[in-house]
Amino acid sequence: MSGGTSVTRGLPLGSIAVWVVRAALAAEFLYSGYLLFAGGHTEQTFAEIGLGQWLRYVTGVLEVGGAIGLLVPRFGGPAALLLAGVMVGASVTELFLLADGGPVLPLILLIVSATLAWFLQEQIRALFGIEPPADDENHR
């Protein structure tokens, strides 16, 4: 290095961490979506819910679509918000509808998805045309 200036440019550490979380969450939801389409134990689970197998397919489409959206820079925030909503439904189902429900994983995924959506809220606002609050310090 000459002149005392840094020639390394890159993403700030926070941006790298957000992308790592996005990639990990996308991998989890792609796998989960695959399991929903593959059937097996998920067929039995959705049969126990009692709304039919169409809900399994809709959930699979939402999870796979959300996972892909997490990897698209412009749609990461809305995708995280979508997946948080799916996990609200999954958590409620695991807690109240299934006899041997295990709500821990859906609740963890809900927290991670909602936190990611909060960090990417500018993308959500931009997509839906929502202006930030006037007193928001970060947008002045």
Mean pLDDT by 10 residues, the chain (140 residues): 50 85 97 91 87 92 97 94 96 89 93 96 88 68
pLDDT for residue 98: 84
Of 130, 136, 112, 110, the closest CA to residue 22 belongs to: 112
* Distance between CA atoms of residues 32 and 51, nearest Å: 19
pLDDT for residue 15: 86
Q: Residue 76: CB partners within 8 Å, gap ≥ 6?
A: 22, 69, 70, 116, 120, 123
